[in-house]
Amino acid sequence: MPVPTPASCVIVDNNEIDLYLVEHLVELTDGLHLVASFTDARAALHFLQAHPEIDLLLLDVEMPELSGLELMQQLARPHPAVIIISSHRNFAIEAFDLHVADYLLKPVAYARFQESIQLLQQRQLLPGLLPAAAAPAPADAPPSTDNDSHDLFVKVNNRLVRLNFDEVLYIEAMSTYSVLVTAKQKFIVHYTLKRIAGRLPFAHFRRVHRSYIVNTKLIDSIEDNMLLLAGHEVPLAKSYQDELLHSLRSL
């Protein structure tokens, strides 16, 4: 059986100690090949523009002259899969809006880094394959309050926040995170969509795509395999169409 080609990766972090630590994580991880490391984001941008074949970018956010998110915005699509590695959580929503593959907080534990790489491989964003046993068990889903309430407590930035799920339009998968979207704001929680789908106690939330759960009470229209909810478009996969349409007719 042929050995899979390792995924090529580039690291960008202006902090030399953090850069060294991420290099060590890459060195420990089967299936990754470090091509280059940069402390200068502009130099990294020029390199990535000249080498569009790079598979993975491990990227810090706060850097002088050019931030990690600004670097991403200047890359031509399709660009490498991007894992943000930052000391701060407050860039997460903007990062996921740019379709990063994952968001890791410094200091990064080896098990968490390897879990992220495995998920990217399973989603076919990276070549290669790692042993499945390396990934830690997923976090528990958010605890519910009671069966009659449409409120749940969700863990956001290490604090429990009461959220009225009647206001949640949809939930989107973002690697090991999920994004709960309301008309006014987004909440990023460290639960996989699969875990949420298995524990969410409300019947009006239905899976409509491998990456989306929607609040069927807030669907405005369905057209061309797309759902419209308060101005947000959510794809409707063919495998979920019949079940969704049946549930809507029975409301």
- What is the pLDDT at residue 157? 65
Give the end of a domain, one of 72, 103, 133: 133
191-223 tens-digit pLDDT: 888 888 887 878 889 999 989 999 999 999 998
CATH number, domain with residue 208 = 2.40.50.1020
User: 81 and 20 in one domain?
Assistant: yes
- What is the pLDDT at residue 147? 45
Give the end of a domain, one of 133, 167, 182: 133
Q: Looking at the whole model, is its pTM more than 0.75?
A: no
Q: Is residue 2 part of a domain?
A: no
Does 136 score more than 60 pLDDT?
no
Work out the number of other CB atoms within 10 angstroms of the CB of residue 51.
13
User: 190 and 164 in one domain?
Assistant: yes
User: 126 and 194 in one domain?
Assistant: no
User: 114 and 85 in one domain?
Assistant: yes
Domain that holds residue 194: 151-249
49-81 tens-digit pLDDT: 999 999 999 999 999 999 999 999 999 888 899
Q: Is residue 97 part of a domain?
A: yes
Give the end of a domain, one of 69, 104, 133: 133
